[in-house]
């Protein structure tokens, strides 16, 4: 499990550097989450969610969305403690696997901005537009906040 998560994260990071067109400078259509909000969410995750790996946490499990995939039905986050306010969000909770995605702020100067996003379709990896990437990043941060606050 650790190896697969590292592989997915590595793929996402490598593609991030290759496709740096997702930077915050070009992401004007959807406002970024505040950096303070992202830092707060990251600080709260270890106290509220199950650690699944060294720097990974299971936020939500939707068993009906598993669809036979190992990580199916899971909303997980990865954040290396060595990097300040960096988070990669892997959402596989949709009943439709073609809607599963990964968004991250890894290479963004403003940690409230997503600089990269992909669909996690096993057969064909597709990049999210800068707007879709930021929308999904915002939605995920707000969803995690709601779960933490019990609402």
| Residue, of 133 and 7, whose pLDDT is higher | 133
Mean pLDDT confidence for 83-91: 93
pLDDT for 88 beyond 90: yes
d(CA 29, CA 48): 32
Residue whose C-alpha is closest to residue 45's, from 30, 55, 31:
55
pTM: 0.79
User: What is the domain partition of the chain in residue ranges?
Assistant: 2-149
Give residue 43's pLDDT: 94
> Does residue 3 register a pLDDT over 80?
no
**pLDDT at position 149 over 70:** yes
Q: Which parts of the chain fold into alpha helices (H)? A: 2-18, 35-48, 130-149
Distance CA 145, CA 151 (A): 9
CA-based nearest residue to 27, from 89, 101, 117: 117
Checking if the pLDDT of 12 tops 60, the result is no
Band of pLDDT at residue 4, cut at 50, 70 and 90: very low
């Amino acid at each position: 499990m650790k190896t697969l998560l590292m592989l997915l994260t590595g793929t996402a990071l490598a593609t991030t550097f290759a496709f740096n067109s997702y930077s915050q400078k070009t992401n004007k259509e959807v406002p970024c989450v505040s950096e303070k909000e992202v830092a707060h969410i990251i600080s709260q995750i270890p106290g509220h969610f199950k650690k699944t790996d060294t720097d990974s946490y299971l936020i939500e499990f939707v068993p009906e969305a598993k669809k036979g995939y190992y990580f199916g039905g899971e909303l997980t986050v990865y954040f290396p403690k060595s990097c300040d306010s960096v988070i990669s969000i892997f959402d596989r909770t949709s009943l439709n696997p073609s809607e599963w995605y990964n968004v991250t702020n890894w290479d963004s100067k403003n940690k409230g901005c997503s600089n990269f996003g992909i669909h996690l379709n096993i057969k064909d990896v597709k990049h999210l537009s800068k707007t879709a990437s930021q929308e999904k990043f915002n939605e995920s941060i707000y969803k995690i906040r709601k779960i933490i606050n019990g609402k």
